[in-house]
Each structure stands twice: as C-alpha cells, then as structure tokens.
Amino acid sequence: MKFLVINSGSSSIKYQVIDMTTETVLATGLVERIGETTGHLQTTFYPGTDQERESVAEQAIADHDSGMRSALALLTDPEQGIIAHTTDIAAIGHRVVHGGEDFRASTLITPAVLAAIERNIPLAPLHNQANLDGIRVAMEIFADSPQVAVFDTAFHQTMPPRAFHYALPYALYEQDRVRRYGFHGTSHRFVAGECARLLAKPLAQCNLITVHLGNGCSMTAIENGVSVDTSLGMTPLEGLVMGTRCGDVDPALHLFLHQNKGMDLVAIDAMLNKESGLKGLCGLNDMRDIHKAAAGGDERAALALAVQTYRNRKYIGAFMAVLGRVDAIVFTAGIGENDPFVRAESLKGLEAFGVRLDPDKNSGHTGEARIISQNDSRVRVFVIPTNEELAIAREVAGVVQG
Ligand code: AMP
C-alpha cells in the first residue's frame, strides 16, 4: 500500500511516496521555483538503500499543476518502478498549516473541508493558499485516491482557554478568531508517541515536554497525551528564538520601530520573520556555522547561542510549572537531534527540578531515538528524530482505515 505525502508551498512542492506496509520511503522529491524562469526538479528514488539514485532537472515549471505532473512523470517512469499508474497511490496526505478552530484532527478532504481551509486563509495567508493549490491539483491528477488534510495546528486544539487566549479585547477572538493556535503539531504528536513507546507507557498517561528545534522552533507541554500549551501562537512567530524569527518580543516594539525608524508594518513583520532570531543576533542562521564562528571567537555567535538556549530553558521551566509532573523532555528536529551543546545549555540548572543529563549519552550521536539522561534522573530526557512525512502518512492511515 503506497501513500503520497505532499507539502505544497507558494513556489514549491515537496513530496514522498511511502510504502506503508513497511513504512519505507520509495521516493522523495522537490519541485522548486515554480513560476520562475527556471524551475528545479529533484527526486531521490529508494533513499538510504543500496539502490538509491537521483534525478535532477532544471526546467520552467509554470504552476503547481505542471509541477505535480512533472513529478508524476518521474514517479511513473517504468525504469524507476515506483508506481505504474496514479491509482497505485492508495491515499494522499496533505500538510496544511492552519486549520484554525475548525480541525482538531486530520480529516478526509471534502468540499466542506476545502471551504474551511479557505476560510482560514486570513490566519496564514501564504501557507494555506499554497496548501490549497496543492490539494486542488492533486485531487484532479489523483482523482481516485482519498485525500486527507493533516493540520499543523490540530494537535494543539486541546489547549484550554487559559492557555490559548491572549489578554486582548474579547471581541477580537469572537469576531476574528485572534488566539493562540500553535504549530509543528504533527512533529510534537509524532515524537510524543515515540517517547511513550520508549517509556513503555500509554501516551494517555504521559506528561511530556517536546522541544522541536529546527529552522522553526517550538515547545509543547503535553499532559496525559494531549497538548495543553505550546510556544508558537496565532502565527509561527511567538515563543522560542528561531533561525530567522524573533520569538517573544514586547508587542510595543512595533510602535517604537514605526515612530523611531519610520518602518511600516509590512517591513516590521518581514524583519521579525526573516531578519531576526539567530540571524538577527549574529548574521548566521545555520547552527553549524554559528558553532564554528563561536569557536573562532565570534562574540555575537556566542551571544546568539546564549540567547536561544536561555529562552529554551525559560520555556522548559514554565512548562514544568504547567505540568507539575514531567515524565520526559524530548528534543527533536535539526538542532534538537544533532546539537549536544544546545541540549545541555537548555537544561542547565534544572537538576533541582529532577533533570539530570548524562554528558556521555548526550554527546554520542546515533541518528536513532535514544535516552540521554542519567539512570537516576526523575525526568527522563530523550533525543527522538522527527519524521514529518511518516507522521502525516500514519495520520492518513488512521483516517482512511478508520
Ligand atoms: P530542520 O528545520 O529540522 O531541518 O533543522 C534545520 C537546522 O538544523 C539547520 O538550520 C541547522 O541549524 C540545524 N542542524 C542540522 N544539522 C546540525 C548539526 N549537526 N548540528 C547542529 N545543528 C544542526
């Protein structure tokens, strides 16, 4: 049984074909620079196996429809042997960024679901429109395959009002749904499930803090298996220090920048999303480059590390207070999985709260899910690789198989 997972952006489509019987990836691909003079098409067949091979092409890709059709041509190439026909795809999972308050779970796409995703466009204008474009094209090309929407926000719909409300005039919530939603939900849910398995405990009995540190960063407090608070808010800008996004700032900053620097709201928003975070502090946003620079004496790089890890620690402390009992803290995503320094600094000083990291286990690297706390640590600490595509595919399986 083969599933196709699609993540459609404004000028790109990322996809994977996954054999769900073995949960192995048969092909992974990327169509980029859609609508530009030269587009980029890249597909890896049988990644990570001894049959791995790659196809790369530069060609104009007018729109999402032609992008998806070009990808399909590669997937149905008899030489590659991925699929013979569109009907070989048993189901399709679409990553959708914003489900607003309409979706608490992944769902089969119907006209009503499409209308609801469209209704939520004001909450994530660029993302939801791009996701919809991808869904519409896939529904046309793979007309016989059930299509499922998997929302970044759905996992966090269990947050109680005290956690999801901003202290703003209530009418903004009633009329415009201004509230905290949270994102990266598929990743948080996936690593929480894996962690419960490692703890040999039902997820519904686990209290966890999941720490997703990649280009985007977020942290979730999970009580008895459900999200009760998370660091990202109405948009993916609140909370932790990210690659280029600022995380928490004083909201009065906007007025200050407007009055003192003459910046308009669009320029301020672009700065907070694209020129801030680690990049804002030290000019670099790839953690590997930041470590090299810091090791070479770059004080700004050291500062960026200190600001990010301090913010992480502050949120971990806050979420420990939210949860009371914490079974485990889980690190995931590019930085969370690969950076022992960031993990150690983010947990520094938390021994009094029952967190005892094992320095040797923390500095080892296996690429596998593993425990990195000492045997007597009351709060266990894990590194668990996230796998968004597999998480989406499992969600799809849950929906189509009931
Ligand atoms: P993601 O968004 O999960 O793909 O994470 C991307 C980020 O992970 C990159 O920007 C890097 O900063 C970081 N990253 C990847 N590999 C490493 C590594 N070996 N050590 C530290 N950070 C890493």
pLDDT tens by residue, 339-361: 999 999 999 999 999 999 999 99
C-alpha of residue 243 to centroid of ligand 1, in Å: 10
Per CATH, which fold does 202-388 belong to? Nucleotidyltransferase; domain 5 (3.30.420)
Residues with CB under 6 A from ligand 1: 214-215, 243, 286-288, 333-335, 338-339
For ligand 1, pick from 338, 343, 386 the residue to mutate: most ligand atoms within 8 Å of CB. 338
Report residues of the chain scoring pLDDT below 50: none
Distance from Cα 107 to the centre of ligand 1, integer Å: 31
Atom of ligand 1 nearest to the CA of 386: 3
Please tell me the predicted confidence (pLDDT) of residue 366: 83
Report pLDDT for 44: 97
Rounded Cα gap, residues 71 and 250, in angstroms: 44
Distance 332 CA to ligand 1 centre (A): 10
Residue of minimum CA distance from atom 18 in ligand 1? 338
Same fold, 2-151 and 202-388: yes
Nearest CA to ligand 1 atom 19: 338
Kindly name the residue from 102, 152, 327, 339 that is annotated as catalytic.
Answer: 152
Tens digits of residue pLDDT in 133-185: 999 999 999 999 999 999 999 999 999 999 999 999 999 999 999 999 999 99
pLDDT of residue 259: 97
What is this structure's pTM?
0.94
pLDDT at 281: 98
User: pLDDT > 90: what percent of the chain?
Assistant: 97
Ligand 1: centre distance to CA 334 (Å): 4
Closest ligand 1 atom to the C-alpha of 289? Answer: 12
Closest C-alpha to ligand 1, atom 9:
286
Q: Tell me whether residue 289 is one of the annotated catalytic residues.
A: no
Query: Which residue's alpha carbon is nearest to atom 23 within ligand 1?
Result: 335
Locate the ligand 1 atom nearest the alpha carbon of residue 287 and give its number.
Answer: 12
Specify the pLDDT at position 364.
Answer: 85
In the prediction, which pLDDT does 263 show? 97
Q: Which among 7, 282, 284, 288 is the best mutation to test ligand 1's pocket, defined by most ligand atoms within 8 Å of the CB?
A: 288
List the domain boundaries for the chain: 2-151, 202-388
Instruction: Classify domain 2-151 at the CATH superfamily level.
Output: ATPase, nucleotide binding domain (3.30.420.40)
| Confidence (pLDDT) at 61 | 95
Pocket test for ligand 1, best of 213, 242, 287 (most atoms within 8 A of CB): 287
How remote is the CA of residue 370 from the centroid of ligand 1, in Å? 18
Give the number of the atom of ligand 1 that is nearest the alpha carbon of residue 291. 21
Mean pLDDT across the chain: 96
The pLDDT value recorded for residue 223 is: 98
Q: For ligand 1, what atom is nearest to the CA of residue 290?
A: 12
**Pocket test residue of 187, 211, 286 for ligand 1, highest count of atoms within 8 A of CB:** 286
pLDDT at 20: 96
Q: What is the pLDDT of residue 125?
A: 84
